[in-house]
């Protein structure tokens, strides 16, 4: 099904700009035209939770596979750097071409914030690829929702809180499992 009005009414998203609307505003806009099943897909779209909690959606399933593979690569790098066994922190996923390089580039940055920038730009770029050919359908709205969440996540970074968290990690005052799987 096509959602011409909903998609046309949404502000454009740009990685280097602020969020033009909240996720709540986006869901409200979607609620006016989407079918119940498609709205459930949008409501189940999350950059954090990669478990399927809504009806199937090809674009969202591809995103989850890619993101899980990326996170697994990050777990391997983090575990290797600390001499830990990564297997217990890995999630089931197929291998995805290119994510190992992205993870290595992000992991090699001088600061966690710089690494996050690499990861977020790669996520944005992958969503650009996924949404190609989708103009007014639910997949377009799923990509929009994920990009909106990336912007939301990006805007929540607090340098002081990040420095404090880094100190906790470096001094061993956190649970290593949470550091590996996040």
Give the Cβ contact number of residue 31 at 10 Å: 12
What is the Cβ-side half-sphere exposure of residue 17, based on CA atoms within 13 angstroms?
A: 7
Q: Are 68 and 93 in contact (CB under 8 A)?
A: yes
User: Which pLDDT value is given to residue 168?
Assistant: 79
Range of the domain at 49: 4-181
pLDDT tier, 136 (very low <50, low <70, confident <90, very high otherwise)? very high
Tens-place pLDDT, residues 7-38: 999 999 999 999 999 999 999 999 999 999 99
Q: Are 64 and 165 in contact (CB under 8 A)?
A: no
Instruction: Output the CA torsion 82→87→91→92 (10° steps).
Output: 150
d(Cα 142, Cα 130) in Å, to the nearest integer? 10
Is the pLDDT score of 110 beyond 80?
Answer: yes
Q: What is the mean pLDDT of residues 78-88?
A: 88
Q: What angle do CA 43, 179, 81 make, to 5 degrees?
A: 135
pLDDT tier, 53 (very low <50, low <70, confident <90, very high otherwise)? confident
User: Which pLDDT value is given to residue 167?
Assistant: 77
CA 122 to chain centre: 10
d(Cα 161, Cα 113) in Å, to the nearest integer? 11
Q: Are 35 and 65 in contact (CB under 8 A)?
A: no
Domains contained in the chain, number: 1
Is the pLDDT score of 119 beyond 60?
Answer: yes
Is the pLDDT score of 175 beyond 90?
Answer: no
d(Cα 144, Cα 60) in Å, to the nearest integer? 11
């Amino acid at each position: 099904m096509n959602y011409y009005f909903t998609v046309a009414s949404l502000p454009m998203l740009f990685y280097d700009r602020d969020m033009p609307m909240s996720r709540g505003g986006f869901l409200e806009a979607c609620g006016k035209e989407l079918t119940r099943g498609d709205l459930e897909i949008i409501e189940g779209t999350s950059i954090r939770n990669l478990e399927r909690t809504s009806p199937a959606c090809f674009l969202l399933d591809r995103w989850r596979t890619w993101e899980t593979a990326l996170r697994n690569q990050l777990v391997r790098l983090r575990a290797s750097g600390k001499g830990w066994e990564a297997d217990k922190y890995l999630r089931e996923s197929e291998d995805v071409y290119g994510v190992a390089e992205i993870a290595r580039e992000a992991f090699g940055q001088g600061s966690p914030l710089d690494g996050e920038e690499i990861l977020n730009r790669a996520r944005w770029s992958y969503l650009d690829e996924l949404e190609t050919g989708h103009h007014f359908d639910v997949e377009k709205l799923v990509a929009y929702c994920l990009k909106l969440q990336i912007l939301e996540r990006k805007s929540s970074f607090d340098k002081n809180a990040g420095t404090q968290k880094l100190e906790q990690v470096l001094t061993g005052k956190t649970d290593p499992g949470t550091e590996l799987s996040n």
